[in-house]
Amino acid sequence: MACYLINRSPRASLGGKVVEEVWTGNAVDFSHLRIFGCLAYVHVPSDERSKLDAKSKKCIFLGYKKSVKGYKFWDPVDKKVVISRDAVFDEQSMLQ
């Protein structure tokens, strides 16, 4: 992940532009990046919950899983790592 972020950082030698932007000629989109350590509500699939259980659980965002399309979360209740693509991030709680 560190390498991914370094490669998308502006360079002084390129006049403050990102390498990918210079290479492709297109603007780089950073909307998929999330704040590390922010709260997230991870969706619990229907086969893993009963009728009256919550549909999501509160977790902490850890990062991105290598070679998997999904995010990596820490579940403090179950004390385990959860990998999921279905999540709602609460980044505003980190900024306040």
8 A C-beta contact, residue 41 and residue 59: yes
**Range(s) of the domain holding residue 23:** 1-31
| pLDDT tens digits for range 44-85 | 999 999 999 999 999 999 988 777 888 899 999 999 999 999
At 19, the pLDDT band (50, 70, 90 cuts) reads confident
Q: What is the CATH number of the domain that holds 84?
A: 2.30.30
One domain, residues 40 and 21? no
One domain, residues 44 and 72? yes
d(CA 36, CA 62): 6
d(CA 9, CA 90): 24
Please classify residue 88 by burial: count the beta carbons closer than 10 Å to its beta carbon, then call 0-12 exposed, 13-18 middle and 19+ buried. Answer: exposed
Phi, psi of 21 (to 5 degrees): -70, -40
How many distinct structural domains can be found in the chain? 2
